[in-house]
Amino acid sequence: MMLRRHWRTACATGAVALAVIAGGCAAPHDGGTPRSPAAAGVPSAVAAGHGPHARAAKAKAAAATAPRVPLTVPNSVRARQAVRLTACTATGTGGHASGTVIAPGTRAAAYTITVFFTTRQATVLGYGTAKVRPVPGKTIPWAVGTHFKAPPGMRCVLRGASAS
């Protein structure tokens, strides 16, 4: 009895998915006017933006608009010790982070600084990278800004620093 109930659920789910796919690919029925979702066999819950298929479509759309965050960021202990993040502000167009670099040693090096802009819960909203070439022993400022909708409580995370 239990197996039969699961089989019916699986068949019903498959039928709904098939209806959604077929409805999205169907040709207009009167030579030019597209069919409504209900006429195309799409359940009203999906057409109205509810149900598991609608949630999956919304998640896919959100993933397409999410920032492309680098999976790996160059980071070295020595370079990171030279970098300071001193300011983090939300702007009308996104986020802005700034700080300083004091290069150790006697040779000049190019520093790459990566900052992630996050929500209070650590969801990455965007990121930015700054490249600076400080003179050894001197303090040089750096700044990063990027465009996104900054929520209240936005935070800046110094994600990586490297010197080459």
Residue 61 is given by DSSP the state: H
Q: CA 17 → CA 38, 43, 45, 59, 132, distances in Å?
A: 14, 10, 13, 16, 52
Q: Give the count of beta carbons closer than 10 Å to the beta carbon of residue 130.
A: 20
Name the band, by pLDDT with cuts 50, 70 and 90, for residue 162. very high
Q: pLDDT value at position 103?
A: 87
More reliable by pLDDT, 113 or 54: 113
Query: What is the total residue count of the chain?
Result: 164
Instruction: Quote the pLDDT of residue 64.
Output: 53
Two tokens, residue 41: 């066999």
Q: Are 115 and 128 in contact (CB under 8 A)?
A: yes
Look at domain 77-163 and name its CATH class.
mainly beta
Question: What average pLDDT score do residues 114-139 get?
Answer: 94
Residue labelled with tokens 């004091």? 102
Q: Which of 10-19, 55-64, 88-97 has the highest mean pLDDT?
A: 88-97
pLDDT tens per residue across span 50-81: 566 666 666 565 555 566 889 899 999 999 99
Q: Which residue has the tokens 């690919």?
A: 25
> Helices 51-65 and 2-25, interaxial angle, to 10°?
50
Confidence of residue 17 (pLDDT cuts 50, 70, 90): very low
Q: How far apart are CA 149 and CA 147, in angstroms?
A: 7
Above pLDDT 90, what percent of the chain?
49
Helix, strand, or coil (residue 28) = coil
17 or 89: whose pLDDT is higher?
89
Question: Minimum mean pLDDT among 76-85, 102-111, 155-164: which range?
Answer: 102-111
Choice between 149 and 9, residue whose per-residue pLDDT is larger: 149
* 27-36, 91-100, 115-124, 130-139: least confidently modelled range: 27-36
Domain boundaries, the chain: 2-65, 77-163
